[in-house]
Structures are given as structure tokens and as C-alpha cells.
Copies of this chain bind each other. A is one copy, B any other.
Amino acid sequence: MATCYSIQELMRMIATAAGSIADTVSDREGQRFMQALLTSDRIYVAGAGRSGLIAKAFAMRLMHLGMESYVVGETITPAMEKGDLLVTFSGSGETHSITDICKTAKAVGGTLALVTSRGESSMAKTADLTVVLDSRQYDDKGLSSDFAIRQITGEHRSGAAYNPKAPTGSLFETAAMIFSDAVILELMDLRHTAKNEVEENYSNIQ
């Protein structure tokens, strides 16, 4: 008895699928997301399960860039305030524990950004801006008969029956990680340039 694909083949399939999800990102929402990151006082991230791990990976890079970021639930995360941004990662857009956090963020006057696979979800309806990484496209392309892709897209989820925190599927999470890294590269580029300009200004007034 053998598996249908080698690990290398599966890696290439996942990478190709995750990359193609870039097509579902709206230019306008992508730009609004960048704008929100650049203009907020502090950036909070939240997510349940594996989406929460992607949220942490994003917050860590923001810190590396010198931006003030916090992970909801970690030890030294201060109270959110007006002017702060909450970035939530939720494949389904229906994660209950995150919904509560979103309400608090809105109640204190914060901005709510959602990264999700479901643009029409409950969380998308209350978010100030929503980046859609639609991993469902694979269901409609005749690939649903393929065991591997069904697993990746979350059509089959072991033990997810009653757990409201179960991820939509690994493909959303991989796409969310790649999206986060792309955003970090944009921020590095933008802030790098800004730093040069600031240094040029220094030179001019010396």
C-alpha cells in the first residue's frame, strides 16, 4: 500500500495552491490593511488554534521592524485603547472566542482588521476592513475528488465536529502566513525608504 504523492509533490501542490490564493486578495483591502498598520498606535493580533500561531508569527516580525505589537492572551499585553488596531486571523470568520475579543476592540474605539477565507462571515460583517484569502476556490475546480486537496482545504477535519475553534483548513493558514510575510516585506520597503528620507533631511540641516 502506497501513498499517491511523495512529500516533495505534496509540498509543491500546497505551495502552488497557497500562491494562487493571492488572486483573491483585493487591491483596495490590501492597501487599506497596509494603511491601518502604518497609522495605528499599537497593533494587537489574535487567532485561535493554528491561525493563532500565524498571528504570533506576524506580531514577531512587526516587533522586529520596531513596531509596537502585542498578542492577545500573552502575559504583558496591555489594555487596548482608541487608536489601536486589532488584526484577527480566522479562516471561518466565526470563531467564538475571537468574536468576543473583536467586540472589546470595537467597544474601546479600536480598529478591527480581519484576515479570513470567508468574506461574508459574521466577523467580516463587523470588521472595519477584511482581507479575503479565499481557499474555497479549490472545491470548485474538480479537485475535490482528490484526497490531498480535500484535506488541505479543510473539507475533511478530524475531531472538528463540535469544536468552534477548529481551523477551516491548512491551506488558509499557509496562505495567511505567506500574506503576512508579504505585508512585512512591504512594510520593510516603505519604512526603509522613509528612513532614508529622514536621514537625507538630517544631512540637509547639519
Contact = CB atoms under 8 A, between A and B. Distances in A.
Interface residues of A, number: 85
Given A30-B6, A76-B69, A147-B189, A49 B60 contact: yes
Given A11-B19, A185-B151, A197-B1, A76 B79 contact: no
Interface string A31-73: 0001000000000000001100110110111111110011101
Contact of A74 (B23, B74, B100): B74
A20 B6 CA distance: 14
A115 B151 CA distance: 23
Contacts of A152: 181, 185
A4 interface: yes
A81 to B, nearest CB: 9
Q: Which label, helix, strand, loop or mixed, suits the secondary structure of the A interface?
A: helix
B4 A79 contact: no
A125 interface: no
B7 A183 contact: yes
A31 to B, nearest CB: 8
B70 A76 contact: yes
A188 interface: yes
A174 interface: yes
Contact of A19 (B16, B23, B56): B16
Contacts of A198: none
Contact of A60 (B25, B50, B157): B50
A122 interface: no
B170 A61 contact: yes
Nearest to A101: B97
